[in-house]
Amino acid sequence: MKTLLVYYSRTQITEKIAKTIQKDLDCDIEEITVGDKYDGTIGYIKGGFDASANRVCEINKVTKNPKDYDLVIIGTPVWAATMATPIYSYLKEYGNQIKNLASFCTCGGSGYEKTLKKIAKITGKTPIATMYLTKNEIENPEENINNFENKINNR
């Protein structure tokens, strides 16, 4: 199964999880970037505001087309109880090209259920696997990651 993992990470927490999954599953990876729009304290505040308002932002050009993959895994931090604006923007543009979906999110403690449901709704796909990692779980994510990967592999 040809798999693409697409993620956005402002603070490299989601990136760390994404790269672990990418290595374990030996799949292609695509980082969504937006320049310095959400850097620093002001960027953090702006990101939360944009996410809660369902705003899209201009993302840098992607190099991999999701329609070329059997499975796309989406990874996002949770901002203001929803997905990060760059992932929302990616899904608004490419979500209809996703054949099969898996998704995960990292969060301070809440908003993960809404985030994972919104990813499924935007793509119109029922995910074959989902995972969330709260602040406490991010410190030791191995068991959650293994369970997530097993759901994908045993599909």
Residue 109 banded pLDDT, cuts 50, 70, 90: confident
Measured CA to CA, the distance from residue 88 to residue 52 in angstroms comes to 11
- What pLDDT score was predicted for residue 93? 97
Q: Spell out the CATH class of 3-153.
A: alpha beta
Give phi and psi for 130, each to the nearest 5.
-135, 160
How would residue 143 be classed by pLDDT, with cut points 50, 70 and 90?
very high
Q: What is the pLDDT of residue 83?
A: 97
Other beta carbons within 10 angstroms of residue 17's beta carbon come to 25
pLDDT digits (tens, 9 = 90+) for 54-95: 999 999 999 999 999 999 999 999 999 999 999 999 999 999
Indicate if the pLDDT at residue 155 is higher than 90: no
Give the CA angle between residues 117, 89, 127 to the nearest 5°: 30
